[in-house]
Chains A and B, each alone.
Chain A
């Protein structure tokens, strides 16, 4: 099956620093990747949609200058949390959608294992 990895799996940083999270599709090409954040005991909230070779589309209320997304290749997207603050502490999950349309499932997203960010 399709595998998506994230790195790092957890990170602790000081307030004011920037943190980069990588999302990779290991055995397929992902034209589209998605970034979600999940607060404890809550659902996933879509932050942005990242399309290879173009600018990311951010959901309402998500600061694009704070959460920088780069999707430079068909297998890698990065999320950089700039000038992180304690309220940015969360579980960040990426997903990747395979290029083209698989027969029967047009929206299948394969999820990474998540990155837990703690900002002190």
Chain B
């Protein structure tokens, strides 16, 4: 089955690192994604990782993938107040289809 789980809430101080975790179930996903949603808005693709990679770094973002444990994480370095949003991980169990996680609300305080 398709079930993507995330912790619901994370609160950090500005300048700290944030780590958002995700567990997924479908090992056939070719790509895994992280999306950001600001209040009342659509989703913005932040980054993605190919399933045969362990890590991907993109400026302040670092994605770690543990395929054995089906665990994905997103680390945001030097978190800013503008990073406050809901973050969704997503797996792609079949061509075209995305299955989203439950979303993690990140709150960054000054």
Where the two chains meet, the residues of A that have a C-beta atom closer than 8 Å to any C-beta of B are 4, 6, 32, 34, 42-44, 46, 49, 93, 95, 97, 104-114, 116
Report A42 CB to chain B, min CB distance, Å.
8
- Which one, B12-20, B37-45, B72-80, is touching chain A? B37-45
Classify the interface of chain A: helix, strand, loop or mixed.
strand
Other-chain contact of A107, B30, B40, B42, B44 (Cβ < 8 Å):
B30
Q: Are B30 and A114 touching (Cβ within 8 A)?
A: no
Report A70 CB to chain B, min CB distance, Å.
18
10 closest A-B pairs by beta carbon, nearest first, are A111-B42, A111-B43, A113-B42, A107-B92, A43-B100, A44-B100, A114-B42, A43-B102, A112-B42, A43-B103
Interface positions of B from 55 to 110, Cβ below 8 Å from A: 88, 92, 95-103
B48: which A residues are within 8 A, CB to CB? 105, 108
B45: which A residues are within 8 A, CB to CB? 108-111
Q: Are A114 and B41 touching (Cβ within 8 A)?
A: yes
Classify the interface of chain B: helix, strand, loop or mixed.
loop
Q: Which residue of A lies closest to B45 (CB)?
A: A108
Q: Are B44 and A111 touching (Cβ within 8 A)?
A: yes
Q: Are B96 and A97 touching (Cβ within 8 A)?
A: yes
Q: Are B98 and A109 touching (Cβ within 8 A)?
A: yes
Report B86 CB to chain A, min CB distance, Å.
9
B92: which A residues are within 8 A, CB to CB? 107
Report B9 CB to chain A, min CB distance, Å.
10
Q: A43-B101, A106-B30 are in contact. Are A32 and B96 (CB under 8 A)?
A: yes
A109: which B residues are within 8 A, CB to CB? 45, 98
Additional A-B contact list (8), CB under 8 Å, known A95-B43, A107-B95:
A32-B96, A42-B102, A42-B103, A95-B42, A111-B42, A112-B42, A114-B40, A116-B40
| CA gap between A114 and B38 in the complex, in Å | 11
A110: which B residues are within 8 A, CB to CB? 45
| CA gap between A100 and B95 in the complex, in Å | 12
| CA gap between A117 and B29 in the complex, in Å | 32
B88: which A residues are within 8 A, CB to CB? 43-44
